[in-house]
Amino acid sequence: MILLQVANSRAAWAQEFNNLPVVTQKPPLHGKHWMAITGKPLAATAGAMTFHKGGNAVDASCAMLAATCTMWDVLSWGGETQALIYNPKTKQVIAINALGVAPTGATAEFFISKDMKYPPEYGPLAAVTPGTPGGLMVMLAEYGKLSLAEVLQPAMQMAEGYPIEAQTANSIERGKAQIKQWPYSKRVFLPHLGEKREAPQAGEIFVQADLLQTLRKLCETEKQALESGKSRKEAIYAAYDRFYKGDIAAEIARSCQEQGGLITEQDLATWQVKIEEPLVTTYKGIEVYKLQQWTQGPAMLQTLNILENFDLKKMGYNSTQYIHTVYQAMNLAFADRDFYYGDPAFAPDEPMQGLLSKEYAKARSGMIDPARNDPKIGPGDPYPFEGKTNPYMDKINQWSESSHRGRHHFGDLAAERRFEEQFQAGTTSVEAADEEGWVVSITPSGGWVPACIAGTTGVGLSQRMQSFVLDPKENPFNVVEPGKRPRVTLTPSLALKDGKPFLAFAKQAGDEQDQLLLQFFLNMVEFDMTVQEACEAPSFKTTQMHSSFGNHEKNPGGLVLNELMPPWNRKELGRMGYKITSQERTSGPINAIWFDRQHGTFWGGSSNHGEDYGIGW
């Protein structure tokens, strides 16, 4: 009788909830001609300005990228850029790989000799070569319409001085002890040295004279090339060469080594942006595109393949069974990420054909216990699904046997806070679309505060080296080597339906990215939410995979629920073996554009989680 009353009350609550009108905290964006969304209002305005100059979505996304780097929106000019672009002329999705590489001398032996378990989190030894300037200029040269000077104009105005927002100003103040270790960083970030608050105040005009000079050099080089008869594309590539092979490169290398880093002029001169084929899977007829296995993006594709074997809609949005099933599917895919993903330009070859096969996903789905969490989930064996024998079974057995490697021991509040900060370390995202049909999704990052600035360039160096491992038992594909790209968390997304753009979506926050992008996608596809509803809808997170940062810790059975989720979810999931914590907001920040084919318009979504902002027209 009591069970019947509980069931009836639960059904009544669910019916009442489902009948409520959905009022999002932020309104959806609408546009007919274009849409520009990114991590800061000023940066979204830079995108709008660029559209008004006659630029396309690629031009606008480059302007937003430049603005967010100049604003230190948890990234800077020395970081890395990852992008997916839909080209309406070819009807194809293009992948941009502008991730820097480990410099000369960056070997596992080098870091081990310094008693490090992983490359460091901060400082010049954490830096891979700068990728964002090259990525921006290649995208612009190949697919944009405007000049580099036109696209960089908003960022240059900001470098002259802009009113810094509280989020970044306070981040500088918190990180000032580390910033003071690096002379060029101290000069830029701490205008009030010796005072109680040494960082800028919120609203204070923040000036970056060195960065402005660097951007001016690029534009001057472009102008000289145009005046000498070079084409628009050739002129942009002349600026590219000045950054990577000229005086800017020389100063980056000199100052990096002066401060204890490894980057050489040769490292910069030989690095190149790669234009690649993306990876793709289908989910209920929708094509979902991700970057290759040098990112964590394929993990979302793997998870979708696993989840196709379940009736998620029947389970109900955020029901106990839905949360459990999606959590288990994510853990299976992320265990494969942790062991098999790495830079495809280096041996050994990652078994991506097997990992992304529907047959492998079906086999993995059969491992899910519908009643219990499995905290010891490890990598699978995808090799038979591409007709090969796995050469790493001994390492996989060692990996599984050492499932406590890097395990985070909770109870220390400071340690818990640090783990959470590392796990959801932020960056930004850039989404743009136009009426011609160009669509861009970017997840740039690197060089966040506290950043080591490279000499008089104003360029903050990346901290992405920490995503490598030093021990091949952890991941034989992601051991640091000179010239190699680390396996990163950064993961823009594009989806096509009936061969046409359906969704462009991305988010910040480290290892959370593909977890929450997956749920956002399912919110729309399985539960018919609008793009803004899907951006704000309560999500959940697993902390069972290894963090890609710091000491690469994990929390087996860790489950983060949204505070809005009902108490019976918490009780039932606790009985299933989960260690539950909660957060007020768990959905983002997600930025997304949905293509309304019925009306020929754009819908923009930007979750109510941070300062992300969009403008449509």
pLDDT digits (tens, 9 = 90+) for 222-257: 999 999 999 999 999 999 999 999 999 999 999 999
Angle between helices 209-227 and 148-160 (to 10 degrees): 160
Half-sphere exposure of 500 (CA within 13 A, CB side): 10
Confidence check: pLDDT of 160 > 90: yes
Both tokens assigned to 473: 């038992």
Q: Could you read off the pLDDT of 111-132 as tens digits, one per residue?
A: 999 999 999 999 999 999 999 9
Both tokens assigned to 413: 């509040």
Both tokens assigned to 313: 């809609």
pLDDT band at 197 (very low <50, low <70, confident <90, very high): very high
Name which of 350-364, 428-442, 561-575 the model is least confident about. Answer: 561-575
Query: Residues 293-301: what's their mean pLDDT?
Result: 98
CB 44 within 8 A of CB 614: yes
Both tokens assigned to 546: 């290894």
Confidence check: pLDDT of 16 > 70: no
CB 395 within 8 A of CB 476: yes
What is the SS3 assignment for 519? Answer: helix
Q: Could you read off the pLDDT of 535-565 as tens digits, one per residue?
A: 999 999 998 889 888 888 888 999 999 998 8
* pLDDT score for 253: 98
The top-scoring range by mean pLDDT among 211-215, 392-396, 551-555, 608-612 is 211-215
Per the model's pLDDT, the better-predicted residue between 609 and 541 turns out to be 541
Give the residue among 394, 405, 324 at the shortest CA–CA distance from 570. 324
CB 507 within 8 A of CB 590: yes
CA angle 31, 33, 39 (to 5 degrees): 60
Query: Residues 585-613: what's their mean pLDDT?
Result: 90
Give just the sign of the alpha carbon dihedral 332, 553, 411, 172. Answer: negative
Using a pLDDT cut of 90, give the percent of the chain over it: 82
What is the SS3 assignment for 338? Answer: helix
Per the model's pLDDT, the better-predicted residue between 550 and 64 turns out to be 64
Q: Using CA atoms, how far apart are residues 168 and 174, in angstroms rounded to an integer?
A: 10
Per the model's pLDDT, the better-predicted residue between 485 and 564 turns out to be 485
User: Following DSSP, what letter does each residue of 178-217 receive, concatenated?
Assistant: HHTTSHHHHHHH-TTTTSS--SPPTTSEE--HHHHHHHHH
CB 338 within 8 A of CB 400: no
* pLDDT score for 5: 42
Confidence check: pLDDT of 189 > 90: yes
Q: Return the beta strands (E) in 26-161 as ranges.
A: 29-31, 34-38, 81-87, 92-98
Confidence check: pLDDT of 66 > 50: yes
Cα 263 off chain centre by: 24
Confidence check: pLDDT of 15 > 50: no
Q: Using CA atoms, how far apart are residues 216 and 275, in angstroms rounded to an integer?
A: 27
Q: Using CA atoms, how far apart are residues 153 and 52, in angstroms rounded to an integer?
A: 13
Name which of 10-19, 67-76, 126-135, 282-291 the model is least confident about. Answer: 10-19
Confidence check: pLDDT of 604 > 80: yes
* pLDDT score for 424: 56
Q: How many helices (H) and strands (E) does the chain have?
A: 23, 19
Which amino acid does the sequence have at 530? T
CB 206 within 8 A of CB 167: no
* pLDDT score for 464: 96
pLDDT band at 14 (very low <50, low <70, confident <90, very high): very low
pLDDT band at 2 (very low <50, low <70, confident <90, very high): very low
User: Following DSSP, what letter does each residue of 539-566 receive, concatenated?
Assistant: --EE--SPPSSTT--B-TTEEEEETTS-
Per the model's pLDDT, the better-predicted residue between 301 and 423 turns out to be 301
Give the residue among 443, 423, 571 at the shortest CA–CA distance from 510. 423
Query: Residues 166-185: what's their mean pLDDT?
Result: 95
Using a pLDDT cut of 70, give the percent of the chain over it: 92
Confidence check: pLDDT of 106 > 70: yes
Query: Residues 318-345: what's their mean pLDDT?
Result: 97
Give the residue among 261, 174, 282 at the shortest CA–CA distance from 459. 261
Q: Could you read off the pLDDT of 266-282 as tens digits, one per residue?
A: 999 999 999 999 999 99
Residue 514 backbone phi and psi in degrees, to 5: -75, -20
Both tokens assigned to 105: 């001398």
Confidence check: pLDDT of 11 > 90: no
CB 475 within 8 A of CB 340: yes
Whole-model pTM? 0.94
Query: Residues 589-613: what's their mean pLDDT?
Result: 92
Half-sphere exposure of 234 (CA within 13 A, CB side): 8
What is the SS3 assignment for 600? Answer: coil
* pLDDT score for 91: 98
Confidence check: pLDDT of 416 > 60: no
Per the model's pLDDT, the better-predicted residue between 433 and 9 turns out to be 433
Cα 241 off chain centre by: 27
Confidence check: pLDDT of 177 > 60: yes
Q: Using CA atoms, how far apart are residues 341 and 364, in angstroms rounded to an integer?
A: 17
Q: Using CA atoms, how far apart are residues 477 and 468, in angstroms rounded to an integer?
A: 10
* pLDDT score for 511: 84
* pLDDT score for 69: 97
**Number of Cβ atoms within 10 Å of the Cβ of 433:** 29
* pLDDT score for 1: 40
Both tokens assigned to 189: 């970030």
CA distances (Å), origin 168, targets 41, 54, 131, 510: 13, 31, 22, 18
Q: Using CA atoms, how far apart are residues 479 and 467, in angstroms rounded to an integer?
A: 10
Q: Using CA atoms, how far apart are residues 61 and 48, in angstroms rounded to an integer?
A: 10
Which amino acid does the sequence have at 587? S
What's the DSSP call for residue 14? H
In terms of DSSP H, where are the helices of 357-474?
358-365, 393-401, 413-423
Query: Residues 344-348: what's their mean pLDDT?
Result: 97
Confidence check: pLDDT of 148 > 60: yes
Confidence check: pLDDT of 194 > 50: yes
Both tokens assigned to 611: 């300062």
Q: Using CA atoms, how far apart are residues 302 and 614, in angstroms rounded to an integer?
A: 30
